[in-house]
A and B are shown apart, each in its own frame.
Chain A
Amino acid sequence: MLTPGTRVNRLLRFGGLGVALAALLITGVVAVGALVAGGYDPGVALGALVRGAVGSPEQFFSVTLVRSVPLILTGLAVALAFRAGVWNIGAEGQLYAGAMAGVWIGLAAGDLPGWIVVPLVLVVASTAGAVWALVPTLMRLRLGVGEVITTILMNFVAIHLVGYMVHGPLQESRGVFPQTDALAAAARLPALIPGTRLHVGFAVAVLLGVALWLVLRGTVFGFRLRAVGQSPAAARITGRIDGKRVILVTFLASGALAGLAGAMEVSGRTFALYEGLSPGWGYTAIAVALLAGLHPMGVVAVGIMFGALEGGAGAMQREAGIPAAWVSGIEALVILAVLAAGQGRKWLVQTRLERGRPAEASVG
C-alpha cells in the first residue's frame, strides 16, 4: 500500500489560497458552462442562488448558517482524520449514529432540565459517532484492513439502521409517519440569535474549529498527529510516537465530531429523526476539507460557503427550475478542481526548479 504519509503531503500541498481560488474559478466556469449546456439561463440561476444564500438576514442566518453547522463539523472530522493519514469516508454514517443516539437520549431524558439534557444529547451523540468509527479503526489497527471501504460500508449500515429505528423502536407514538417523536423543548438547542433559526450549534462548531487549530498547532498531540500523517516511518523511528495510539485517538475523535454534527441536526434544526436526514453531508465534508487545505479555520470558512451554496440551491430550484441535485455535481467538481489546481501548482513549482530559479519557499 501507499504509505499514507506521502498522500497527506500531496493533499496538504493543496493548501494555500492560490489553489483554492483557482479551484473556485475552474468550478465556476465549468458550472456556468453546464448550466448553459443544460438550457438554463445562468444569470437567472446565479441571481436565485445569491438571493437564496445571502439575500436577506432571514436567509443568511436561518438557512445558510444553519446549514453550515453540519458541514463545518463533518468537515472538521474529515480534515482531522486526513491530517493523520486516516481516510475516514464514513462521516455520513457517524453522523447518523450520532443523530440516532442523540434523539434517543433526548426523548428518554426530555423531562430533565435543559442544562442537563442538551449537554447529555451532545455527549451521547459524540460517543455514538466514535463507536461507529471504532469498527473501521479496529479493523485497520488489528487486522490491517484499509479504512476507505470499511467506513463506506458502515455508512450503509447506519442508513439502514435509521430506517429500522424510525419504522420500529423509535417510531413516533402515533405510528403514522416513519419518524421519531419531536424532542421536548428542553432537549432542543437554544437560539443563538433570537428570532432566527440559528442555534448555538453554530457557535460550538466555530469554537471547535479554533480549538482544533490550536491543538494541531500548539500541542504535543497535534505534533504527533501531523508527524504520523506526514511520515509514519519517521514518526516510528523516533521511538517516541505510538503511531497506532495516535491513529486510534484521531479516528475516534473524527467519528465523535461527525456524531456531534448529527446531534446538532436533530437537536437544533429538525427536532426529530427521519430517513434522509442528511443529504450526504458526510461526503460533502470531503470537498469542504480539501478546499480548506485540511486547515480547521479554513473548514469553518468553506463550511459557511458551502452552506450558502446548499441554501441557494433550494432557491435556484424554486425560481429557476434547476434540480437541487446539481449541487452534488458542483461539490464533486470542487474536489476535482482542487486536485487539478494542486497538480498545476506542483507543476509550476517544478518548472521553476528546473529553470534554476528559487522555488516558492513553502509547499506545506
Chain B
Amino acid sequence: MAELALLTSFLAASVRLGVPLALAALGETVSERAGVINIGLEGSLIAGALGGALGALAWSSAFGGILTGAAVGALVAVVFAAFVVGLNTDQIITGTAITMGGLGVTGAVYQARFGLTGTTLTLPPLSSVPVPLLHRIPVLGPALFDQAPTAYFAVVMGILLWYGLFRTEWGLELRAVGESPDAAQAAGVRVRWTRFWATVFGGLMAGIAGAHLALDSGTFIEGMSGGRGFIALAVVVLGRWNPLWVVVAAIFFGGASALQFSMQALGWDVPHQFFLALPYLLTLAALAGWVGRARAPSALAHPWPKTSI
C-alpha cells in the first residue's frame, strides 16, 4: 500500500509541476506555428511570476495574481514582438536579450520593493479544486481531478488550441504564416499581424505559467523561473507542435522533476542536485532521440518580409 500511496503522490506531483510547462509550451506552440520562436519565453515567465505575486498581493486574491501575471507576460512579449515582427530583428538574439532583461529587471524591481534582505512574501494560496466524485478515483484521481484551476485551464486550452489550429480557418491561416509567409500573404492573410498576436498570446500564456509558479509556491524568488521557459521550448519540439501532445510532454517533464521527491521518500541515496539537473538532461536526451522525427514549421525563425540587402 505504501507503494501505491507513493505512486499516487508521484503522479499528482508530476501533473502539478507539469502545469507551468504546459501553459508556457502551449503559448509557444501557437507562436512557433506562426513562425516565431521566442527564446524570451523565460523573460515572460519570470515577469509573470513577479506580476502574479504583486497582483495577488494588491488584489488579495490568487485569481487577481493570475490575471496580472498574464498581462505582464503579454507585455514582455509585446516588446519582443515589436522587435522581431516590427523591426525584423533576429529572433534568437532578441529573445536572449528579453530573457536577460526579464531576469534583471524583475530582480531589480523585487529588490527595490522588498529590500535586499528579501522579506519572504506570503501570497494568497492557489487552492486546488477537486472535481466531485472523480477525485476519489484511486491513484489517478488526485493527479487528474484534484488540481489547481490553472491545471484544468491548461488541459482545456490544449484541446481548444488543437481544435483551433487544425480545424478552423484561423488555424489554417496561422499555420500558413508559419509554413510559407509569402503564400499566406498572396492568399490575403496579414502575415505580420498574425505573427504579432501569436507571439503576444505566447507571452500571455507564459505569464500565466509564471503566476502559477509564484502562487503555487506561495512566494516570489529571484530567478524562480529556473529555465522552465527553455524547457517549454523543448516541450514544444517533443510535442511536435501539436497542443495535445504538448500537454502530455509537459506532464512527462513534470514527472522528471517530481522524481526528486519520490526518490527521497524511497530513501535512495542520490544527490539531490542530480534530480535538479535531471529535467535538463532528459530534455537533451529527448531532443537527441526525437528531433529527427519532428518537423518544425518551415518558416520558423525566418524574418518576414525578406529584405533585399
Residues of A within 8 A of B (CB): 1-2, 7, 10-11, 38, 87, 89, 135, 139, 143-145, 148-150, 152-154, 156-157, 160-161, 163-164, 167-168, 280, 283-284, 286-287, 290, 322-323, 325-333, 335-336, 339-340, 342-343, 346, 349-350, 353, 363
Would A335 and B108 be within 8 Å (CB), given that A163-B276, A349-B309, A350-B308 are in contact?
no
CB distance from B8 to the nearest CB of A (A): 28
Q: A10, B277: Cβ atoms under 8 Å?
A: no
B187 at the binding interface (Cβ < 8 Å):
no
CB neighbours (8 Å) of B156 from chain A are none
Name the 3 nearest CB pairs between A and B, nearest first.
A328-B104, A332-B101, A325-B107
CB neighbours (8 Å) of A87 from chain B are 92
Which of B90, B99, B284, B309 is within 8 Å of A153, CB to CB?
Answer: B284
CB neighbours (8 Å) of B94 from chain A are 335-336, 339
The residue in chain B whose Cβ has the minimal distance to the Cβ of A350 is: B309
CB neighbours (8 Å) of A325 from chain B are 104-105, 107-108, 111, 222
CB distance from A136 to the nearest CB of B (A): 9
Q: B291, A339: Cβ atoms under 8 Å?
A: no
CB neighbours (8 Å) of B273 from chain A are 160-161, 163-164, 167
Name the interface residues of B41-96: CB closer than 8 Å to any CB of A: 83, 87-90, 92-94, 96
Interface residues of B: mostly helix, strand, loop or mixed? helix
How many residues on B have C-beta within 8 angstroms of the other chain's C-beta atoms? 52
B227 at the binding interface (Cβ < 8 Å):
yes
CB distance from B209 to the nearest CB of A (A): 17
Would A339 and B309 be within 8 Å (CB), given that A152-B227, A332-B104 are in contact?
no
CB distance from A275 to the nearest CB of B (A): 10
Q: List 10 other contacts, CB 8 Å, given A153-B284, A323-B111.
A: A2-B302, A7-B92, A139-B288, A154-B280, A156-B280, A161-B273, A328-B103, A330-B104, A335-B100, A346-B307
Q: B233, A149: Cβ atoms under 8 Å?
A: yes
Q: B111, A150: Cβ atoms under 8 Å?
A: no
CB distance from B166 to the nearest CB of A (A): 23
CB neighbours (8 Å) of A331 from chain B are 100, 104
Would A143 and B288 be within 8 Å (CB), given that A161-B277, A323-B112, A332-B101 are in contact?
yes
B39 at the binding interface (Cβ < 8 Å):
yes
Q: B271, A164: Cβ atoms under 8 Å?
A: yes
Which of A152, A167, A284 is within 8 Å of B230, CB to CB?
Answer: A152
Interface string of B279-309 (1 = CB under 8 A from A): 0110110011001100010001110000111
CB neighbours (8 Å) of B100 from chain A are 280, 283-284, 287, 328-329, 331-332, 335
CB neighbours (8 Å) of B101 from chain A are 328-329, 332-333, 336
CB neighbours (8 Å) of B93 from chain A are 11, 286, 290, 335, 339
CB neighbours (8 Å) of B284 from chain A are 135, 139, 150, 153-154, 157
B116 at the binding interface (Cβ < 8 Å):
yes
CB neighbours (8 Å) of A326 from chain B are 104-105, 108
Of A11, A143, A286, A339, chain B has the most CB atoms within 10 Å of the CB of: A339
CB neighbours (8 Å) of B226 from chain A are 156
Q: B230, A327: Cβ atoms under 8 Å?
A: no
Q: What is the CA–CA distance of A152 and B291 in the complex, to the nearest angstrom?
A: 17
B259 at the binding interface (Cβ < 8 Å):
no
CB neighbours (8 Å) of B165 from chain A are none
CB neighbours (8 Å) of B92 from chain A are 7, 87, 89, 148
Q: B281, A346: Cβ atoms under 8 Å?
A: no
CB distance from B230 to the nearest CB of A (A): 5
CB neighbours (8 Å) of B234 from chain A are 149, 153
Q: B277, A156: Cβ atoms under 8 Å?
A: yes
CB neighbours (8 Å) of A7 from chain B are 90, 92
Q: B296, A1: Cβ atoms under 8 Å?
A: yes
Would A323 and B108 be within 8 Å (CB), given that A144-B291, A152-B230, A340-B83 are in contact?
yes
Q: B108, A340: Cβ atoms under 8 Å?
A: no
The residue in chain A whose Cβ has the minimal distance to the Cβ of B113 is: A323
Q: B90, A11: Cβ atoms under 8 Å?
A: yes
The residue in chain A whose Cβ has the minimal distance to the Cβ of B43 is: A332
CB neighbours (8 Å) of A143 from chain B are 288, 291-292
The residue in chain A whose Cβ has the minimal distance to the Cβ of B91 is: A2
CB neighbours (8 Å) of A342 from chain B are 89
The residue in chain B whose Cβ has the minimal distance to the Cβ of A340 is: B87
Q: What is the CA–CA distance of A11 and B303 in the complex, to the nearest angstrom?
A: 13
Q: What is the CA–CA distance of A339 and B96 in the complex, to the nearest angstrom?
A: 12
B274 at the binding interface (Cβ < 8 Å):
yes
CB neighbours (8 Å) of A283 from chain B are 96, 99-100
Of B83, B92, B98, B104, chain A has the most CB atoms within 10 Å of the CB of: B104
Name the interface residues of B87-139: CB closer than 8 Å to any CB of A: 87-90, 92-94, 96-105, 107-108, 111-112, 116
The residue in chain B whose Cβ has the minimal distance to the Cβ of A152 is: B230
Would A327 and B104 be within 8 Å (CB), given that A10-B90, A156-B227, A349-B309 are in contact?
yes
Q: What is the CA–CA distance of A280 and B42 in the complex, to the nearest angstrom?
A: 15
The residue in chain B whose Cβ has the minimal distance to the Cβ of A336 is: B97
Of A1, A144, A157, A286, chain B has the most CB atoms within 10 Å of the CB of: A157
The residue in chain A whose Cβ has the minimal distance to the Cβ of B116 is: A323
